[in-house]
Amino acid sequence: MNESMVTFQGWLGGDVRIQQAGGVVVARFRVASTPRRFNRSTGEWHDGPTQWYSVSAWRALGDHCAASLRRGDPVVVHGRLTQSSWVNQERVEMTSLEVDASFVGHDLNRGTSAFTRNGGRTAGESAADSPEPRDRVA
């Protein structure tokens, strides 16, 4: 398995778009990631060039992204990285970085988020694995 997996932090550049592809849901959105570097000699932070990633999230992950994410949200994305190149109408070669997401979440360094568990359990999860509700007194 020689796939490039990436994890990056960025900001949602637009609203999540939902489509049907091959009979399943796919959510598509773009994320802008701008690296920051600290220059010790000047004591200042400097932004590097912004990289834009096109993200696809399939099936339940896509549904959850559409229900949870909004333009401008800080997110963390992990998934398989691919690159596409093409020549545009002006005969300039263009490149796009695309990520097939495995995991997506809010970047909690930037704020708080509330989690709502979906109805089903994931593979290998039993009732004993589920945490007790916080408002329950023993």
Q: Which of 29, 106, 37 is nearest to 75 (CA)?
A: 106
pTM over 0.95: no
What distance lies between CA 67 and its chain's CA centroid? 13
Q: Which of 29, 133, 7 is nearest to 78 (CA)?
A: 7
Measured on CA atoms in the order 96, 101, 103, 108, is the torsion positive or negative?
A: positive
Residuewise pLDDT in 10s, the chain (138 residues): 678 999 999 999 999 999 999 999 999 999 999 999 999 999 999 999 999 999 999 999 999 999 999 999 999 999 999 998 999 999 999 988 899 999 999 999 999 999 888 876 555 555 544 444 444 444
Amino acid sitting at position 36: R
Task: Provide the CATH number for the domain formed by 5-117 in this structure.
Answer: 2.40.50.140
